[in-house]
Structure 1
Amino acid sequence: MSAFHTSGMTGSGTSRSRVVALDPLRMRARRHHAHALHRGERIWQDGAGPVDLWIELLHGNGFEPRAALAFAVAQDFEDDQFTLGRIPPEDIEKLYGLQVQPLSVFDSLEERALVQTRRANTVLVEVDAFYLPDTRAISYHREHANTTIGIDVIDPNARRLGYFHHTGYHLLDGDDYDGVLKAHTNDSNDANALFPHVEFVKRTRDALTGTPLAEVSADLLCAHLLRRPPSNPITRWRAAFPEHVEMMLERGESFARLYAFNVMRQLGSNFELLAHYLQWMREQGFDIPVQTHTSARKVASEAMVMQCRLARAIAWPQRTLRRVIRCDGRRLRTRGAAACEYRLLISRKRAANTAVLMPRSFAKHSLRKDSEMLPILVLRVFLAPSSSDTSHA
């Protein structure tokens, strides 16, 4: 806590001075404004948590986070989920001169984090969202969930700290402070004490800016294209989706929500980030056709459409979902769902009883082999399946 003196005049003309206390933590929180990627109209409000954290951490330190989004071209399908977006530490070091190192917690998380924040380093730690006030609408004092935050200021005397999380910078104190930090203290009598995985971010050189930043980002894009998936991830997802539908029908809506979170959300939010990255590269003067930006946003929006339709479809009775009444070559309808105006794809494997709820445009445009929407390689790896993939009812 710091303070400064101000002077003034009383009503009788007698001068007086007063002390105005400043709260550096609260002032920092007020000064921080979310990056443009987290403001305005967004397709996926709840994007990729680890990437959102880094966007705000970099932005809070005066860096341009969009330069670090080249990794988004390498997303893969892992049979039950899409790869969770994460900025590689080596990219962060090349662009911003920041190293991410593991932090050993040998006595208490509070003590080790305090040492690093006093060195102007940020501590990345997985905590329980139950104690995070910024999750008030979801987890705060409601349910327990793991999430990662970036702590940059700690006031142990006041039991308060400041942290980056999701799309902003926040404060917590009191019992929440104890829940985040003091729950992890090494008790010499407890040989089974476990600590969370903790890292810290330290600056080793000045960050790149301007043209050098954009050029290194372009080099990273080329490197990530070389490690892209050998086959189309969306095509493999489509092949696996009928089995996933059966699983969701068996396990109910709660599982379907988790499925959508780890599949549609991770695909859509990744492509939304990719769209922002391609637009930023265009602004830096690189010759990237505008169609790549719009096509990436199309994939992001269609993933959102599919998530919404899946939620509605899973809520139908199973017998209704399975009962495909008529196919006229243009649109499928099911009894009891006459208001359903979207086209369904029929799984060739289980055409008799399974309706696969892929949006029409997701199949017709995003998965069209001869598409002219994507004239460069950046997105073609995702959106160019074999010709058999384009067949639909």
Structure 2
Amino acid sequence: MTAPLSNGDLSSSDLAARFQDAFGSAPEGIWQAPGRVNLIGEHTDYNDGFVLPFAIDRTARVAVRVRPDSTVRLLSTYGDQGVTTADTATLDGSRAKGWTKYPLGVMWALQERGIAVPGLDLLLDSNVPLGAGLSSSHAIECAVISALNELTGAGLKDEEMVLATQRAENDFVGAPTGIMDQSASLRGAKDQAVFLDCRDQSVRLVPFETEPAGLVLLVIDTKVSHSHADGGYASRRASCELGAEVLGVKALRDVGVEDLDEAGGLLDEVTFRRVRHVVTENDRVLQTVELLGTSGPGAIGPLLDASHRSMRDDFEISCPELDLAVEISRTSGAIGARMTGGGFGGAAIALTPVAAERQVRTAVEQAFSRAGYRKPDIFTVTPAAGAMRLV
């Protein structure tokens, strides 16, 4: 019971055929959810702050069929791990491995909400790059919860599915993430960025169309894999919580740029720099939203640059490969560049004039080669629709 390997671009009919071959019957449906790029607003989400991601035109898709028993059978079209089997009565994050943690975590989180989750067969196909900071894991979770929301008749709203997948990440997978990635994947729209207030989950769609402005948004996957379930992410979150506690606020969202001078006298040097990143990053998100509405994407380059410097120097979540990608992009023609995602690896983005795209691509590849780094994967993304049922 194995499915042939895929590059993540199977058609719906081919995915259904692979499902039939693997599990012996047709799926009840196929659902997809996109990865995301965060245009700006990093590590602000779990501080009740502002973020500006958008869903991208790379997706995770799941073919699903409900079973008459409590058995769960999971299979993907990549890798050679074969079928993973579990039971809905004994879901355990400590025993789940690899990508299967994400669908199993969603099932567990729905159970925790009092929703009866049946056994199922599931086949995953995805072309969201793994470990690149484009939220491949949340794309899987959002595709799965979209399927289960429909198949179980749970009737959850987008906001409720966001919180359920966050709980799966936090308490089943063990990654202390916020709500940004799920919100972009579930609530995204074509040619729009998702301006999200993480305190109340309110969303405003902001036009982000690069083509009319003569621009492309390049993603530079450094091939340095990262994980949110490790200590680096958790320690940054702990620093933010400490900063909020010392400053006497509910969350760093409640600290303004004008408060930083006073904060500097109350916090140790490392905690202050962590706080300064979050406070100034929130301000950069608000400035970016305003500029997109008044001047268009060609005006936001300096804010992208400032965001990267802040993540590199104050939050210390960059790495040499990301710094090189950003530096070379800027010196080769990009109007702004920054790392995107949780950090410690992953991808950078470079907002680039169409006329300079080839030059930027070539310069980054050559710089990585000279440095002895792995060849980066460089591609363009555009804002796409959020999670949906395909068939």
TM-score bracket for this pair, using the shorter chain length:
under 0.3
- Of structures 1 and 2, the one with the larger relative CO (CA 8 A, separation 6+) is 2
What is the TM-score normalised by the length of structure 2? 0.27
What is the TM-score normalised by the length of structure 1? 0.27
Structure index of larger Rg = 1
